[in-house]
Structure 1
Amino acid sequence: MWLFFVFIAIPLIEIGLFIQVGGWLGLWPTLLIVVVTAIAGTALVKSQGAQALAQLKNSFDDLRDPTEPLAHGAMILFSGALLLTPGFFTDFVGFALLVPAVRRFVLKKIKERVTVQTVRTDRGWQPQDETIIEGTYVSDENDQPSGPSGWRRD
């Protein structure tokens, strides 16, 4: 239900802001602002996305948990989509997500709501499929191979 509310509220907010800003500045300056924010946002997303990718690579190289760089990369990607969407409210949220402190705050709030559970076992590997039949194979170098592999069933 809340997603339905978001899909209704955001366009209504954007329409209201377009009417207010367009009435205050006029049509062409309003459209120019929308285009300039999309171009500036794209450049910022590109540079910050490259930084997030470098941090992700470093976390893999150092064998650290890649969760935080992945989350930052996802938020940067989402901010890019918001900045390319015409509107003032989406631009505001998109630019806000490009600020590292805002991303850290959002990630902190997400971590508070997510519970991570892990399961470990001390037992060795056991086949999951009960239809597996163990068998022994030996190389038959003296005889002609019975198949293309040169192996025969004992």
Structure 2
Amino acid sequence: MWLLLPFVILPIVEIALFIQVGGAIGVLPTIALVVLSTLGGTAVMRRQGALAMLDVQRAMQEFRDPAAPMAHGALIMIAGLLLIVPGLFTSALGLLLLIPAVRELVMRWMGRRIGVSGTGYGYRAPGRDSDFAGDYPAGFRRGSSRDGVIDGEYSVQDDPPAPVREGLTDGRTQGGTGGKSGWTRH
């Protein structure tokens, strides 16, 4: 029910504003405002969207948290979308979102309402059916400090004999075709 409320109230508000503004400045200037708003919203989305992506990339290159540039970019894109939607109220909201101080207020308000519930990583053990079931390889248990050391094993293998190495095959037939593919070792 609450989700349908904006879709009922918004058109009523927009129609009332069209009537009020149209009566004050005339029909053609009101239509011109809506058309200019749409063109401005398109320009904002095109230009500011690209700049927002550059800000995110710059933040990541400088090893800073990209959350703030991403949030600003998203709010700028929403502002452009609100400017494109025909209506005076939505255009006013879009223009407000283009002001950096207003975006900061919106981000702070949203930050108080959104919380991180938890983070972690998972490991799927070979042959297990469940992911992230608390199965961690030895040395990677939560809370352990390994200083970035990864244990591994290796073995040294000698080169194959010269005829095999040069021809990549020992001359046996493959799959009954009688030919040498040159791609496999036997």
Which category describes the TM-score, using the shorter chain as reference length?
Answer: 0.7 to 0.9
Asked whether the equivalents of residues 52 and 72 of structure 2 are also in contact (C-alpha less than 8 Å), the reply is yes
Aligned to 1:103: 103
CA distance in structure 2 between the partners assigned to 1:144 and 1:71 by the alignment: 63
CA positional deviation for 1:142: 5.0
Aligned to 2:128: 130
Asked whether the equivalents of residues 41 and 81 of structure 2 are also in contact (C-alpha less than 8 Å), the reply is no
RMSD in angstroms over aligned alpha carbons? 2.8
Asked whether the equivalents of residues 41 and 95 of structure 1 are also in contact (C-alpha less than 8 Å), the reply is no
Aligned pairs, how many? Answer: 143
CA deviations on 1:43-92 (whole Å, 9 max, x unpaired) are 34433323212211101211222211111111111111110111110001
Asked whether the equivalents of residues 45 and 81 of structure 2 are also in contact (C-alpha less than 8 Å), the reply is no
SS at match of 1:3: coil
CA positional deviation for 1:115: 1.1
C-alpha spacing 1:142/1:98, structure 2 compared with 1 (3 Å): same
Write the mapping of 1:1-154 to structure 2, written as runs, cut at 5 A: 1-116=1-116, 117-119=118-120, 125-127=123-125, 129-130=127-128, 142=170, 144=172, 150=184
CA distance in structure 1 between the partners assigned to 2:44 and 2:172 by the alignment: 68
Question: In the alignment, residue 101 of structure 2 is paired with which amino acid?
Answer: A
CA positional deviation for 1:15: 0.4
Q: Which of the pair has more CA radius of gyration? A: 2
* Gap runs ≥5 in structure 2: 130-156, 176-180
CA distance in structure 1 between the partners assigned to 2:173 and 2:2 by the alignment: 67
Identity %: 38
Asked whether the equivalents of residues 145 and 151 of structure 1 are also in contact (C-alpha less than 8 Å), the reply is no
Aligned to 2:149: none
Q: Give the structure with the larger helix fraction.
A: 1
SS at match of 2:3: helix
C-alpha spacing 1:95/1:128, structure 2 compared with 1 (3 Å): farther
With structure 2 as the length reference, what TM-score do the two structures score? 0.65
Higher RCO (C-alpha 8 Å, min separation 6): 1
With structure 1 as the length reference, what TM-score do the two structures score? 0.77
CA deviations on 1:12-70 (whole Å, 9 max, x unpaired) are 10000001111122211110111122223333443332321221110121122221111
CA positional deviation for 1:146: 6.2
